[in-house]
Structure 1
Amino acid sequence: MKIAVVTDSNSGITQAQAKEMGVAVLPMPFMIDGETYYEDITLTREQFYQRLKDNADIATSQPTPDSILKMWDKLLKEYDQIIHIPMSSGLSGSCSTAMMLAGEDEYEGKVFVVDNRRISVTQYQSVKDAQMLAAMGMDGTQIKKRLEETAADSVIFITVDTLKYLKKGGRITPAAAALGTLLKIKPVLIILGEKLDSFAKARTMKQAKTMMMNAIQKELDGRLHDSECRNCHLAIAHTDNEEAALEFKKEVEERFPNADVYMAPLSLSIACHIGPGSLAVTATRKMEEEHEKN
């Protein structure tokens, strides 16, 4: 059985990477000053951050039903089934849209939409996991079941460089943003499942990085049952902050010497809400099947 894996550009997978990996990536649309742009098709990361810095009016959107169906129809000419992994249902409506479309008679038993509440580098890991499970001989029903069963095995901690974009998106009040800017507060946020929530407050980026590494250690000690980080994937992500991310990656590798540490930019959908200059660290428990494969 041939199984195709589809995701969206919130996974951080570029169109070039998608070709190398053998997956399909739906580009996320953005409305910028009233015009529609598509991530990595008509909008580069550099262009996005420049427009963000220029205070353009930027809004996130979701792939149209037509664009989803066109991709599915094209793939089903070559593949028997499709595993579709959109960004977390708690952060976008794109998951519920895809699930509704997959419920149509012509896609029943052929398209399996996974809601495992992932985004960015954790969503990327889900794509790799889906490919691994397909290579092991699982069908669409089994892969969807395994990915959703392990939905909670992941966490992201993010620290932002500026409160401007959280204020702009209404996630904090103007008064809180003004006070936070005055006190030079670097909030640490958490994505655990379906929501982007406040986690802690730091006064410097150095302190924020320490808080995030301590928080990852606490997750490893508790929920993820992997204190020495031998059975989890770690990842570093950033918004237009590669140099600092590389430095943070080294610090994380020193703190967790047993871990493999992947690095990639955060998705533009997150960047839209938190702005440039952020850093993130994530932990995702390896699937049991990965141990069997190795």
Structure 2
Amino acid sequence: MSEKKKIILSADSTCDLDEELKERYHVNYFPLHINLNGRDYLDNVDITPEQVYQEYYDHKVLPKTSAVNVQEYIDHFRPWVEDGYEVIHVNLGHALSSSYQNCCLAAQELGHVHVVDSCNLSTGTGLTVVAAGKMIEEGMDAETIAGKLRASTSKRHASFVLDTLTFLHAGGRCSAVAALGANILKLKPSIQVDNHDGSMSVGKKYRGALDKVLVKYVKDELARHPDINTDLLFITHSGIPQEYIDLVRKTVEDTMAFKEIHVTKASCTISCHCGPNTLGILFETK
């Protein structure tokens, strides 16, 4: 009987896991690029969302985010492949970045790399990474794991509420009229992520103070899905006062009992499009 090959779990840094889950499942991050004022940074390595916001407030400049190129992925994977590992790498949804296509090209060149398009973003991708970690622990082989992950992306649900449309507008993702109208009317739209490709669309539009809106949003999201998997829920935010996080956690706990709730902070790639005070709950269905 041939010896089962060891598996390395790798993911784009945009999966936004907390340190505890990264360590539990031995996740190797690959940071995406953030270009701000002509300087290249590595997402969440040498730049934070707060620095991005400040640069916008001071100079009205938003960063450009760029995909990981083929050679960078090859350099990332090669040492593991040469050491006899199989690699599973989970990417940000293909609608949001060409990182996935570049990763596939790197995998074709090297072999032994199994690329999974999460069809999601932030901890929506993180849910796929955690699922991979659990399957590795169970002793499945890399090809089986990758197949199961790809077949189940539509069970992972991501959404969030925007406190302001200023950053979406500045990044060219909504019109000035829509942004102004929403801000004047105190509208806080929810953004729904399409878990077939990672693209985003506007869901329910909420009105009023952020605390009231967040409570309503959480209840709405948990009521939308009759078959929620209660193993894990993420509360992911782009930088928001603790009182709102506590309020959201309490609302979740009062509505449904999850085995684990993890609060995580979104990477710059995600945050720079949403702006501060963005918060979402992300979970799986059965």
SS in 1 for 2:44: coil
Q: Percent identity?
A: 23
Does 1:157 pair with 2:159?
A: yes
1:233 alignment counterpart: 232
Cα distance, 1:151 vs. partner? 0.6
Aligned letter for 1:44? T
How far does the alpha carbon of each residue in 1:134-169 deviate from its partner, in whole angstroms, 9 at most, with x for none?
222222211111001111001122111111011112
Alignment equivalent of 1:172, drawn from 159, 174, 199: 174
- 2:97 and 2:258 map into 1 onto residues whose CA distance is 34
What is the Cα-based RMSD across aligned positions, in Å?
Answer: 2.2
1:3 alignment counterpart: 7
SS in 2 for 1:56: coil
- Structure 1 182/119 Cα, relative in aligned 2: closer, same or farther at 3 Å? same
1:39 alignment counterpart: 43
Cα distance, 1:266 vs. partner? 2.0
Task: Provide TM-score, normalisation by structure 2.
Answer: 0.88
Structure 1 alignment gaps of length 5 or more: 287-294
Cα distance, 1:52 vs. partner? 3.9
- 1:17 and 1:49 map into 2 onto residues whose CA distance is 27
Is the Cα–Cα contact under 8 Å of residues 156 and 191 in structure 1 kept in the other structure?
A: yes
Trace 1:211-290 onto structure 2 (pairs within 5 A): 211-221=216-226, 225-226=227-228, 231-243=230-242, 244-285=244-285
- 1:18 and 1:157 map into 2 onto residues whose CA distance is 22
- 1:231 and 1:249 map into 2 onto residues whose CA distance is 14
Cα distance, 1:40 vs. partner? 2.8
More displaced 10-residue stretch of structure 1: 256-265 or 62-71? 256-265
- 2:153 and 2:184 map into 1 onto residues whose CA distance is 38
- Structure 1 242/74 Cα, relative in aligned 2: closer, same or farther at 3 Å? farther
Is the Cα–Cα contact under 8 Å of residues 122 and 282 in structure 1 kept in the other structure?
A: yes
- Structure 1 236/176 Cα, relative in aligned 2: closer, same or farther at 3 Å? same
- Count of aligned pairs between the two proteins: 277
- Structure 1 203/49 Cα, relative in aligned 2: closer, same or farther at 3 Å? same
More displaced 10-residue stretch of structure 1: 34-43 or 204-213? 204-213
Is the Cα–Cα contact under 8 Å of residues 102 and 111 in structure 1 kept in the other structure?
A: yes
- 1:17 and 1:134 map into 2 onto residues whose CA distance is 14
Cα distance, 1:65 vs. partner? 1.9
More displaced 10-residue stretch of structure 1: 68-77 or 26-35? 68-77
- Structure 1 202/191 Cα, relative in aligned 2: closer, same or farther at 3 Å? same
Is the Cα–Cα contact under 8 Å of residues 14 and 25 in structure 1 kept in the other structure?
A: no
Is the Cα–Cα contact under 8 Å of residues 116 and 148 in structure 1 kept in the other structure?
A: yes
Q: Which has the higher contact order (CA 8 A, sep 6+)?
A: 2
Alignment equivalent of 1:144, drawn from 139, 143, 146: 146
Is the Cα–Cα contact under 8 Å of residues 15 and 25 in structure 1 kept in the other structure?
A: no
Cα distance, 1:98 vs. partner? 0.6
Cα distance, 1:50 vs. partner? 2.9
Is the Cα–Cα contact under 8 Å of residues 14 and 40 in structure 1 kept in the other structure?
A: no
Is the Cα–Cα contact under 8 Å of residues 160 and 274 in structure 1 kept in the other structure?
A: yes
1:92 alignment counterpart: 97
Moved >6 Å (runs of 4+): 14-17
Cα distance, 1:60 vs. partner? 1.1
Is the Cα–Cα contact under 8 Å of residues 239 and 265 in structure 2 kept in the other structure?
A: yes
- Structure 1 14/281 Cα, relative in aligned 2: closer, same or farther at 3 Å? closer
Task: Provide TM-score, normalisation by structure 1.
Answer: 0.86
Alignment equivalent of 2:118, drawn from 111, 116, 124: 116
SS in 2 for 1:60: strand
Cα distance, 1:76 vs. partner? 1.8
- 2:27 and 2:251 map into 1 onto residues whose CA distance is 32
- 1:188 and 1:211 map into 2 onto residues whose CA distance is 11
Cα distance, 1:206 vs. partner? 3.3
Cα distance, 1:17 vs. partner? 6.9
- 1:137 and 1:20 map into 2 onto residues whose CA distance is 15
How far does the alpha carbon of each residue in 1:208-246 deviate from its partner, in whole angstroms, 9 at most, with x for none?
32342233233321xxx24xxx54522111111151223
- 1:245 and 1:15 map into 2 onto residues whose CA distance is 18
